[in-house]
Amino acid sequence: MVEVTVTPQSSLADRPVQIRVRGLSPSQLVTLRAWLKDEQGECFQSRAFFRADGAGEVDPGLHAALGGSYSGVWPMGLFWFLQPDTLFRRLVKRDVAGSPFRVRLEVLDGLSLGADPKERPLASCEAERWYVGPGVRRVPVREGRVRGALFLPP
Contacts of 64 (CB under 8 A, 6+ apart): 71, 72, 73
Closest by alpha carbon to 33, among 95, 98, 121? 121
Q: Which residues make beta-bridge pairs with 36? A: 44
Specify the CATH architecture of the domain 3-152.
Answer: Sandwich (2.60)
Mean pLDDT of 97-112: 94
Q: What is the DSSP letter of 80?
A: H
On the question of a cis peptide bond just before residue 8, with omega within 30 degrees of 0, the verdict is yes
The answer to whether residues 36 and 101 touch, using CB atoms and an 8 Å cutoff, is: yes
**Global pTM value:** 0.88
Residue 5: how many CB atoms within 10 A of its CB?
A: 15
Mean pLDDT of 73-77: 97
Per domain, the residue ranges of the chain are 3-152
Q: What pLDDT was estimated at residue 98?
A: 86
The answer to whether residues 49 and 69 touch, using CB atoms and an 8 Å cutoff, is: no
Q: What pLDDT was estimated at residue 140?
A: 94
Q: Which tens digits make up the pLDDT trace of 132-147?
A: 999 999 999 999 999 9
Closest by alpha carbon to 71, among 50, 85, 87? 50
Name the percent of the chain lying above pLDDT 70: 97
